[in-house]
Amino acid sequence: MEVGKRASVEQYTEKGIVEKTLESNRLASEQYINNEASLKGRIDAQKKALEVISNVLEAHQEKVDSIIVRLPEPLRSEIEALALKLKPNEEEASTVAGRMQSLISILTMIDQFNNSLTLTHQIRKDPNGLEIDTRVLYWGLSVGYAVDAKGELAWRLIPNGDGWAWEDASSEAASIQAMLDIYENDRRPSLVPLRATLN
């Protein structure tokens, strides 16, 4: 009888182990299904949030595109590469985060330019059609002044809807040259009266 009892105990123990293992696997399977549903819900919510952000980016992109054409040339050339990254591109997987970073960088660059004086050199054609080098000082995004190397030709740069208009200011060439020389520390500081039209 002892042999029979031992066999049934072994079967019972084996059966119990199998049943416990099956129950444990069933619970793990239920947990997996619950986790999968929860993760799927989170993924769907994040996809919807990304879609909302992407729509906001597209709206801002249109505004930035309309602003870029009105920026002065030196700033526009700096921003152009970032502006390309702002647009969704199917060939290159442009992420929403990357596009948002480009938007923030563009707006930061515009703000920094607007809050500072920027000296640059630009090639311009003189009245005879010859290319000349000009020094240009932008006062943020409000006005700019330019003069040729000889100090004879000068311009006042005024922003408009299509960019910046170069208005002839040759009658003020000496004053504009003096201002630029003072800015570059080539002349002692002094007050230089100049006309400005602010929009």
Instruction: Provide the sign of the torsion angle of the four alpha carbons 138, 144, 149, 151, taken in this order.
Output: negative
pLDDT band at 92 (very low <50, low <70, confident <90, very high): very low
Residue 188 within any structural domain of the chain:
no
20-42 pLDDT, tens digit each: 887 787 777 777 777 777 788 88
Element holding 133 (H helix, E strand): strand 131-139
113 neighbors 140 (Cβ within 8 angstroms) = yes
pLDDT at 93 over 50: no
Final residue of a structural domain among 114, 147, 174: 114
Residue 150 within any structural domain of the chain:
yes
Q: Which domain holds residue 136?
A: 117-183
Final residue of a structural domain among 88, 114, 140: 114
End-to-end CA distance of the chain: give it in Å, rounded: 109
Task: For the chain, give the percent of residues with pLDDT over 90.
Answer: 44
Mean pLDDT of 121-135: 92
Residues 121 and 104 in one domain: no
Mean pLDDT, the chain, whole residue set: 85
Residue 36 within any structural domain of the chain:
yes
Residue 4 within any structural domain of the chain:
no
The whole-angstrom distance between residue 16's C-alpha and the CA centroid of its chain comes to: 64
Q: Is the pTM here over 0.85, yes or no?
A: no
Q: Give me the pLDDT at residue 12, please.
A: 61
Residue 22 within any structural domain of the chain:
no
CA atoms within 13 A on the CB side of 168: 7
Residue 193 within any structural domain of the chain:
no
Residues 51 and 110 in one domain: yes
Number of domains in the chain: 2
Q: Give me the pLDDT at residue 160, please.
A: 87
Residue 173 within any structural domain of the chain:
yes
Residues 65 and 93 in one domain: yes
